[in-house]
Amino acid sequence: MSSLLSNGLPTSQPAGWNSGAILEVSDLYVDYIMDRGTVRAVRDVSFAVGPGEFVGIVGESGCGKSTLLFAIAQLLAPPAGISAGRVVFKGENLVGLTDKQLATVRWRNMSVVMQSAMNALNPVTNIGKQFRDAMRAHGVTSNQEIADRSAEVLKMVGIDPVHLRSYPHQLSGGMRQRSMIAMAMLFTPELVIMDEPTSALDVVAQRSLMVQIKELQEQLGFAVVFVTHDMSLVRHFSDRLMVMYAGQVAELGDTRRLFDEPLHPYTVGLMDAFPSIKGPKVKLAGIPGSPPNLAKPPEGCQFAPRCPQVMDRCRTTEVPLYNLHGDSVRCLLHEAGGSQL
């Protein structure tokens, strides 16, 4: 479906580059400006998402993945702010737009599904009313139209429309998360941004929701940016995968390639961090140490203090992204094989 895009797209484009991508993030920096100093949570991130493409963003807590997602949706609130870079959605740079200008884009063309449906849904009004609010806010006034569309999207995610009259507490975790996704579908957006939508669910509900998202995506053709800490979850669903570490892109590439031949030592470490339920039982070590404190990032490669293949140069050299056959990786081990981006 989107394999066409997943292979050929360069990861960083010069300004004005016309790729047909619906989302282009270029040279993005996000800072948290606090009294104690500035924390750079997202550092020089560039990537593009093609129409109908599923891009997974993977990383540990504090790697900047959620901040990046908030930056794309222009939902950052002080002390966080975009200090440089562009977020171009359908040819329009969203950075610096006012809320009023953003309102025409949000929900209609781009919608966001948050991590915890428990907190994202209003507990004191029923589901139907929350759907109605969203539609009214975007100019749909006909009650009939609202009722029809609400029922339609709920059916799409496999929930009986009688639940439009249900309150969030009357639904299971899985159903709440499904109704959040239904709400994101109200205007048939072209891009849906998801922040760990399955993290509060059990494995069975989680798998069912992932399959549902994929089905909806194939049916309606929207693109997905999916943030998760669990890379095994997106293995079967994403076209491309971006691995983030300490606010930077560590590796970005075709999902299958990334799983078969991971390039960055951090990606390799992440892969070895999952015990399997099949095959021989082997002792695994995970990745020793913990991610750097972004208020005091180490010099050189951010992963160097934990890296099993660290070289002396890694601790002093700022490592650029290297391009290897269209995929990119930030590691000196691949300096020779790739061209600098």
Residue ranges of alpha helices (H) inside the chain are 3-8, 65-72, 99-103, 117-120, 127-137, 143-156, 173-184, 203-220, 231-234, 255-260, 265-271
The residue within the footprint of another protein, chosen from 129, 235, 268, 341 (CB under 8 A), is 235
* Residue 55 touching another protein (CB under 8 A): no
The helix/strand/coil state of 123 is coil
* Residue 270 touching another protein (CB under 8 A): yes
* Residue 201 touching another protein (CB under 8 A): yes
CB of 194 to another protein, least distance (A): 16
Q: How many CB atoms lie within 10 A of CB 96?
A: 10
Over the range 193-215, which residues count as b (16 or more CB within 10 Å of their CB) and which as e? bbbbbbebbeeebbebbbebbee
The smaller minimum CB distance to another protein, of residues 176 and 334, is found at: 176
- Residue 341 contacts residue 328 (beta carbons within 8 Å): yes
The helix/strand/coil state of 338 is coil
* Residue 298 touching another protein (CB under 8 A): no
Scanning 5-13, 185-193, 274-282, 294-302 for contacts with another protein by CB under 8 A, the matching segment is 274-282
* Residue 305 touching another protein (CB under 8 A): no
Q: Do the strands 191-195 and 110-113 form a parallel or antiparallel pair, or are they unpaired? A: parallel
- Residue 244 contacts residue 57 (beta carbons within 8 Å): yes
The helix/strand/coil state of 20 is coil
CB of 204 to another protein, least distance (A): 4
CB of 210 to another protein, least distance (A): 8
The residue within the footprint of another protein, chosen from 220, 232, 324, 335 (CB under 8 A), is 232
Scanning 67-75, 94-102, 109-117, 203-211 for contacts with another protein by CB under 8 A, the matching segment is 203-211
* Residue 271 touching another protein (CB under 8 A): yes
Distance in angstroms (rounded) separating the CA atoms of residues 199 and 195: 9
The residue within the footprint of another protein, chosen from 19, 230, 315, 335 (CB under 8 A), is 230
Interface with another protein by CB under 8 A: which residues? 60-61, 158, 172-175, 201-208, 211, 229-233, 235-236, 259, 269-271, 273-279, 281, 283-288, 290-291
